[in-house]
Structure 1
Amino acid sequence: MRKEWLLLLLCLLLPVYAFALELNRVVAVINNDAVTSIQLDKALAAAEPGTTPAIDERRQVLERLIEESLMRQRAEEIGLTVSDDEVEAAVQDVLRQNRLTKEQLDVALAQQGITPDDYRQSLRRQILRFKLVGREVQGLIEVSSREIQDYYAANSTAYREAASITLRHISFPLAGQDAQVQKERGDAALAALRAGTDFATVLETARQDGADGGDMGELYLEDLTPAFAAAVRDLPVGESSELIANEQALHLLIVTARTPAKVRTLDEVREEIRNQLAEQKRSTAAKDWLEGLKKRAHIEMKL
């Protein structure tokens, strides 16, 4: 009787075991490593929370997991690792750049269904990839002076800087005000400015009657409304415009500085171009290197 019960229990458990195997089947083999369907589903959930991915999306995420496996294997081969201190430094960088506390970061991650440990593992993989690719391809990255000169010659228009203008303003609001009274206040402020009274004094007097104003900073004419641009286009430094009316207020604009248009020289942008070209080469070299890893590896996809 005991043997019969054991046989019955085994028959009941076999379908459950088979179902579990199906749930966690192997979807890719990479040399001696494997990616399971559970790992793939977890990566998909992190990439597209709350959605049902299409076949193409599953394949793309699986290809990324295959690449991560290849890089992990290569890192192990050459003894490259990522320390806990490096991961912690990366977390602190994220907190600092986004002005978050650790608690706020944990809440944001939880809203996306990501645990702090999963997030740290993701950072560890990113750091490993960065270190590995840098080690493997950095020696291949060289940018010659000729390449920099040729790039500058072909893209010189990108280094043209438009003329800029630095402005101050005083505005006399019209909402709930007598327009004629506000015009008279504006005219008085304009007369004071043109008589040589300093801007701060004129603004302080105007504020007593509800006006507003201050520095507008350095701007390009195309940043201004057509009416403002027309008023200051040819206005000399130190001069004030006539009153400019719109629906909200009457405005005075004062030009405090002008910077003429110019083209940045090759010497000014040399390092900028060098870094840009180096990054392009680094990206291409990294793709070629990764393709080389794939070609030398035994890879089977079983989607």
Structure 2
Amino acid sequence: MKRFFFLLLLLALLVQPLAAKTLTKVAAVVNNDIITTYQLDKAVIDALAKNAKGNQLTSKEFDQLKTSVLENLINEKLVEQRIKELGLNVPDPELNAAVEDVRLKNNLTADQLKQAVEAQGITFAAYREQLKKEILRYKLLSREVNYKVEVTSGEVRDYYMEHIDEYRSKPKVRVSSLSFELPADEEAVAELREQVVVTRKQLQKGKAFDQVLAAQGDAAFGGDMGYLVEDDLAAVLREALGGLEVGQVSEPVEMNNQLHLFLITERDSGDSGMDDRVKAEIEQLLHQQKTEARFKEWAAELRENGYIDIRI
């Protein structure tokens, strides 16, 4: 029962008549602003809704969650105060442009975007206000956090060497297939096998795949299968393709009541170095890690230089 008590208590607080909100207490003082117990309870409800365990939390886990939620509210209040102190703002044209950017990126009409937002249980006005807060936060972080974050080429190289297996792609092979349906008649099957042998020799001699396929008429089908990761292939295919070089043709492979020939057209060893894509990905990752670390330092500085009084 204790697991449900906290959730029921918070729900009871939130459904009190409007006049009862005046009875809420001060949970924390942040410089010249306050965070009320009502605001804290509402934030805890939101956090519980996002928590996989939800109302199955123990009393200790609930206390830890509530403490964490209050800390986040304090940090958010400090951020809001710093934004106001610096005079940062988002003019309507800038906010409208941000909304338009979201619409275009999601390929939606203005009405469709509004419907999508309202389907999430919030008004479009509230969505705009939420977007405005995100833009203000971005401006603040760009001014006070991001400009101090730098990722050097040496750090990128060191990270790559430490995680090289994560960036080494698996070997892939590009294959063209030529397939024949196996007939029910045994004599016809024998004739087909002879035809497949002849067809394989044509491919081995370098005759163009498309010409060989076209010459089969309705007796065969196939084409380019694209790049295949060898480790992901069925055992029978791995065995058939293993060791074949570009331009070589597999032995006839019988699968799914069909006979198949596979022509190797390209191979990719997967041992790619640190190309521009990998470098950019690592730079972004390290920048994000450094930004998060710097943000924690910055938030700690705000708290240290401010007045915080937790009263619950």
**For structure 1, which segment, 73-82 or 258-267, has the greater mean C-alpha deviation from structure 2 after superposition?**
258-267
- Match of 1:31? 31
Partners of 1:221 and 1:229 within 8 A in 2: yes
Partners of 2:28 and 2:311 within 8 A in 1: yes
Partners of 1:193 and 1:202 within 8 A in 2: no
Distance 2:105 2:194 in 1: 48
Distance 1:148 1:235 in 2: 37
Say whether residues 1:60 and 2:68 are aligned partners: yes
Residues 58 and 277 of structure 1: is their aligned pair in 2 closer, same or farther, counting only changes over 3 Å? same
**For structure 1, which segment, 82-91 or 199-208, has the greater mean C-alpha deviation from structure 2 after superposition?**
199-208
Say whether residues 1:298 and 2:298 are aligned partners: no
1:178 maps to a residue whose letter is A
Say whether residues 1:251 and 2:260 are aligned partners: yes
Distance 1:137 1:241 in 2: 59
- Match of 2:210? 200
Give the one of 178, 184, 189 matched to 2:184: 178
Aligned length: 285
Pairwise CA distance, 1:132: 1.0
Partners of 1:46 and 1:114 within 8 A in 2: no
**For structure 1, which segment, 79-88 or 230-239, has the greater mean C-alpha deviation from structure 2 after superposition?**
79-88
Q: 1:1-303 alignment to 2 at 5 Å?
A: 19-22=20-23, 25-40=25-40, 43=43, 48=49, 54-172=62-180, 178=184, 185=192, 188=195, 191-196=198-203, 197-204=207-214, 208-209=218-219, 212-247=221-256, 249-265=258-274, 270-302=279-311
Distance 1:179 1:60 in 2: 74
Partners of 1:30 and 1:300 within 8 A in 2: yes
Pairwise CA distance, 1:123: 1.9
Distance 2:30 2:123 in 1: 27
Distance 1:183 1:118 in 2: 73
Residues 239 and 183 of structure 1: is their aligned pair in 2 closer, same or farther, counting only changes over 3 Å? farther
- Match of 1:10? none
SS at match of 1:28: strand
Runs (5+) with no aligned partner, structure 1: 1-14
2:151 maps to a residue whose letter is V
Distance 1:247 1:260 in 2: 29
RMSD (Å), alpha carbons = 3.7
Alignment deviations for residues 225-268 of structure 1 (CA, whole Å, 9 cap, x no partner): 22112211212222332232334644332211113343515888
Residues 95 and 249 of structure 1: is their aligned pair in 2 closer, same or farther, counting only changes over 3 Å? farther
Q: Give the fraction of aligned pairs with identical amino acids, expressed as a percent.
A: 36
- Match of 2:5? none
- Match of 2:10? none
Distance 2:270 2:239 in 1: 18
Q: TM-score, normalised by structure 2?
A: 0.72
SS at match of 2:145: helix
Residues 85 and 170 of structure 1: is their aligned pair in 2 closer, same or farther, counting only changes over 3 Å? farther
Residues 296 and 186 of structure 1: is their aligned pair in 2 closer, same or farther, counting only changes over 3 Å? farther
Alignment deviations for residues 105-158 of structure 1 (CA, whole Å, 9 cap, x no partner): 444433432222222222222222222112102332233444344334433444
Distance 1:61 1:36 in 2: 13
Residues 149 and 236 of structure 1: is their aligned pair in 2 closer, same or farther, counting only changes over 3 Å? closer
Pairwise CA distance, 1:190: 5.8
**For structure 1, which segment, 198-207 or 70-79, has the greater mean C-alpha deviation from structure 2 after superposition?**
198-207
Residues 16 and 217 of structure 1: is their aligned pair in 2 closer, same or farther, counting only changes over 3 Å? closer
Residues 221 and 55 of structure 1: is their aligned pair in 2 closer, same or farther, counting only changes over 3 Å? same
Partners of 2:160 and 2:274 within 8 A in 1: no
2:30 maps to a residue whose letter is I
SS at match of 1:91: helix
Pairwise CA distance, 1:217: 1.5
Partners of 2:90 and 2:132 within 8 A in 1: yes
Partners of 1:143 and 1:278 within 8 A in 2: yes
